[in-house]
Structure 1
Amino acid sequence: MIDPAALKTMGTLARSNAKRRPDVMVHEFEGRITTFAQFDRFTDQVANGLQALGAKNVAYWGKNSDVAFELFIGTCKAGGFFGPLNWRLAPAEIGQILERFVPDVLAVGPEFLDAVEQIRGQLPEGVTIIAAEGGSEKHPSYFDWRDGQPAEFTGDLGEPDDVCLVLFTSGTTGLPKGVMLSHANLLGQRTLMSEAGMNYDTMDDDAVMLVCMPFAHIGGIGVWCLSFANCAKAIITREFNPLEALDLFINRGVSHAFLVPAALQFIVRTPQAQAADFSHVKNIAYGAAPMPVPLLEECLTVFGCDFCQCYGMTETTGTISLLPPEDHRARDPRRLSSAGKALPGSKIKIIDADGNELPIGEIGEIAILSGNNMAGYYNNPEATAKTKDAEGWVRSGDAGYMDADGYLYIHDRIKDMIVSGGENVYPAEVESALYAHPAISEAAVIGVPDDKWGEAVKAVVTVKEGHTLDPVDVINFVRTRLAHFKCPKTVDVIEAMPRNASGKLLKRELRAPYWEGQSRQVN
């Protein structure tokens, strides 16, 4: 259960949990179990180590790990900024982020120690590189570094409104922006939910949270924070694997989880899931991409537990609108296609291009006012001003409408962002890579329905005169320049791009044939 008095800062929470349940497991990772008391001591050591280095910014380049969470809370205690990196990005893209974030310490997982050498020229001068899960010839071991520090850290240098976490989310130009989140952003909603009697994020002492979504996403680190706020147990997996997740549900007592729709689809369509006993599962939250109603019906039937739909964005610290279990139990297809209602302390409105609020039922851009809204983008005031206005309203970039009961419905995307398997892909970045191909004259990238990933990236191109083009060659060409999840799954060649009278490319016309029969322009 959540202790409201402890929800001041992440450091305060760590100390409270250590006193309340010292010998209980905070999390398990690949057989390594850490208790709340050990975790508090380890994060004290991290804070002392950072202070000894004079470190402010700490970056983590790796897959999910218990080490990542120790670094996060230790950085919070030391009053610094923690920035986990999306390991699916190409090394050059990681380098671009680090050039802007300028970390004092870079902790690197075992899979990426060799890749660090590829971006040496992009690393800030004097950065301390630590091997996150064991030493190497070039870099010290995290465990040796941590255990060489004093075991107690006096005080807590963080205040509720201080930024402690920077999550990097792709922009329309492809250069990731650092979303700055505070302790209050991460913890404040817990208090508001409790005061409103909404128990959807309250966990009993015997609860077990599955943390398998990427740590560099709010859906990964946010779920761990929820478990930590409840002083509950968590099982961390290095990355999502449907058979591993299913085994943890069945055999390890996992009672709570957050999963993107694609991950849920992988699990429920595994043959073993059909006969599994999920009676101990209490609640599954889902979000980060739209959930097709037929898939949701299938998940409700297979798991037989409570479900919550979570709509939000990194800039709102995740969930800002919730479709609660009672709406799922009713099985009303109309309600199941909704993103629910605004959470306590938050307001949602639909606006036009000029920021004017639109009437009920009219489609426009979704805007949010909340204590969960980001402080801004790291070292990027121009981008901040475009997303967050003087009153604190954040433009989501999503199109939708509200009904008379206050339910939000997502209709389309204002920006051309594609969501594939919970990962955001921005067409402009992919188009830029395509234009470098010697045979491509013009390129447009769109999202098309995909039964596995929700949406798949499709490239539509025209060919330069006198050239021929092999779609497989185009896909391989882009893969040398971008992370694989951003690369086109398919390439279509057309004679000419559709344009309006002023020459503007009409992407809606390109998308239309692939979305015929779909009720929404998101999948």
Structure 2
Amino acid sequence: MPRDTHAVPRSLPELIRKRAVERPEHPALVVDGITVTYRELRHRAASMGADLRNHGVSRGERVAALSGNRIELADLVLGCAWIGAVVVPLNTALRADSVASALEQAGVQRILVSPEYSVAVTGFDGTVWVMGEQYVPTAGSHPGCEPETLDPLDLAAILFTSGTTGLPRGVRCPHAQFLQWGKGVSASLGLTADDVLYNCLPLFHTNALNTFVQSLWSGSTFVLGQHFSVRNHWHEVRRIGATVDYLLGAMVAMLMNADPSSQDREHSVRVALAPATPTHLIEPFAQRFGVELVDGFGSTETNLVIGTLPGNRRAGYMGMVMSGYEAVVVDNGTAVADGEPGELVVRTTVAGACSQGYLGDPIPEPGSWIHTGDRVIREEGGWFRFVDRIKDVIRRRGENISGAEVEAVLALHPSVSQVAVFPVPSDLAEDDVMATVILRPGRDFDPTSILDFSQIHLPYFALPRYIDVVESLPLTETGKVQKAVLRARGVGSQTWDCEKSEFRARR
């Protein structure tokens, strides 16, 4: 029997098929200079899915990718979803040891890489497909197949996000979670089928992946850029006719720091999703560029739990609890009164709207509370305001960085005896990474040597900007470093600043 195209989609393949019927010739995706209509998108998903099967990929299998924003990566996401495989897109800034750890965690036996990243998988003993070579699964190389009939709780992706105590951890993301992201953010931004969504963040990141689903949900057009450039950003959004933009707080700050231009408002963007934007930049940005900035709370592990709707926003606030979710502010497990800071804990009443937890952990029971590690305040009336992060996680340029992981690397340097890593405020919003070190006896302080050593093991965004040398670290009675004391001390007159040196990180 023919499928009911009016039914609410329960998986990504169902959503793709629905849009292909409703808007066959409307542009769905633009990437690498290639424009793909919704009809063609369905064909590419079916063709890639069939070719993956032809290469031995089965339902439930994890297939990784290490690539920039290319059409082949988009095809892999679509093809895996089509046949019920699980895509595992990896951060291209990860070094070989982190890549190996992620592949092992996820149980990956096959990976698709673009040529410039093939060195990162040199030691991988599974199947490596290099884009552009023969015998690589490719959309269009097969006439296609029918999609798997999937349950909303079936996994669509495993996304790696930095934890607080070591290497990145894989988050199990089901189809239902992506669909709820599409539904919730589409409502928050007021998306319509006529919108053009522009996102230049990497497709391995939950931000860009969910933008793709938002465009599918609203029937609009998703334009995937290559990278963010202050100089070219507004030129690019003008060129493509974007109406919706996706920024991070640091990107907002950089755009505001650029010289004013008579072309600042010569574009069609009306709204931008811009989490972590400093409050003092929201109104000036709107006045200068004519773009409304929208905040909210969501994470790879959760969804758009706290947000706003058009016409009901407050500068400096993440918003209110969205339909289908619950949120409580707690201190030591006890709810605090409105106006008091505490940790944000959240849960959903919609099956699959949040992740299924981390690889290696038991799948949480439905309705389980999720501890976010974020310190927030709920004010009277239900509006939530972000305060800071509780856990030892540093947020820099859209990436979560584990302070413990950075400490583990710096501690291996022959000059370093002890080290503590923590966030300090950045002039571009979010955080910068600061390290306070105790040197080994008889060793001189050579910060360039420390960073040269560190970037062998760490992605560039995790390298410390600031380094202090001290005689001792402030400790608690139980021997733990009091990082709150270090954060309060912050950058001093004797602090070494990477950005004022000749050191350049490899990217």
| Same fold? TM cut 0.5 | yes
Q: Specify which of 437, 444, 464 is matched with residue 461 of structure 1.
A: 437
Q: Are positions 1:505 and 2:486 aligned together?
A: no
Residue 322 of structure 2 corresponds to which residue in structure 1? 343
1:196-243: CA deviation from partner (whole Å, max 9, x where unpaired): xxx434433331110211212211111111012112112111222233
Shift of 1:73: 1.8
Match of 1:435 in 2: 411
Contact 1:28 1:235 in 2 (8 A): yes
8 A Cα contact 1:26 1:35, kept in partner: yes
Q: Alignment partner of 1:400: what SS?
A: strand
Residue 99 of structure 2 contacts residue 120 of structure 2 at CA under 8 Å; is this kept in 1?
no
Alignment partner, residue 478 of structure 1:
454
Distance 1:426 1:192, change over 3 A: closer
**Matching residue within 171, 177, 192 for 1:179:** 171
Q: Contact 1:97–1:176 (CA<8 Å) still a contact in 2? A: yes
Instruction: Report the alpha carbon displacement of residue 94 of structure 1 after superposing the two structures with TM.
Output: 0.9
Q: Secondary structure at the match of 1:376?
A: coil
Where do 1:420-431 residues align within 5 Å? 420-431=396-407
Residue pairs, 1:47-446, within 5 angstroms: 47-55=49-57, 56-117=61-122, 120=123, 123-125=124-126, 127=127, 129-132=128-131, 134-135=132-133, 140-143=135-138, 146-149=139-142, 151-188=143-180, 190=182, 199-271=187-259, 275-278=263-266, 280-287=268-275, 290-317=276-303, 319-328=304-313, 335-353=314-332, 355-370=333-348, 371=350, 372-381=353-362, 391-446=367-422
For residue 65 of structure 2, give the secondary structure of its aligned residue in structure 1.
Answer: strand
Alignment CA distance shift 1:166-1:422 (3 Å): same
2:490 maps to which of 497, 509, 514: 514
Show CA shifts across 1:165-204 (max 9, x none). Answer: 111111122222111111111113555788xxxx434433
Q: Percent identity?
A: 26
**1:274 Cα deviation after fit:** 5.3
Q: Which residue matches 1:520?
A: none
Partner secondary structure for residue 241 of structure 1: coil
Q: CA RMSD in A?
A: 2.3
Q: Which amino acid aligns with 1:153?
A: C
Task: Provide closer, same or farther for how the CA distance between residues 141 and 240 of structure 1 changes in structure 2, counting only shifts above 3 A.
Answer: farther
3-state DSSP of counterpart to 1:181: strand
1:307·1:325 contact (CA, 8 Å) conserved in 2? Answer: no
Indicate if the aligned counterparts of 1:255 and 1:280 stay in contact, CA closer than 8 A. Answer: yes
Match of 1:5, SS state, is: coil
Q: TM-score, normalised by structure 1?
A: 0.87
How many residues are paired up?
482
Residues in 1 aligned to 2:226 and 2:459: alpha-carbon distance in whole angstroms: 19
TM-score (norm 2): 0.89
- Cα deviation, 1:319-356, whole Å, max 9, x if unaligned, reads 2211445355xxxxxx4222111111111101222x22
CA distance in 2, matches of 1:206, 1:391: 36
CA contact (8 A) 1:25 1:36 kept: yes
Q: Which amino acid counterpart does residue 447 of structure 1 have in structure 2?
A: P
Describe the superposition over 1:410-430 as per-residue Cα deviations: whole angstroms up to 9, x where unpaired: 222120211111111111001
Residue segments in structure 2 that go unaligned for 5+ positions in a row = 493-507
Q: 1:4 touches 1:191 (CA, 8 Å); kept in 2?
A: no
- C-alpha contact 2:55 2:137 (8 A) present in aligned 1: no
Contact between 1:59 and 1:105, CA under 8 Å: does it hold in 2?
yes
Aligned CA distance change for structure 1 residues 234 and 403 (closer, same or farther; 3 Å): same
CA distance in 1, matches of 2:435, 2:251: 25
Higher helix share: 1
Gaps spanning 5+ residues in structure 1: where? Answer: 329-334, 517-523
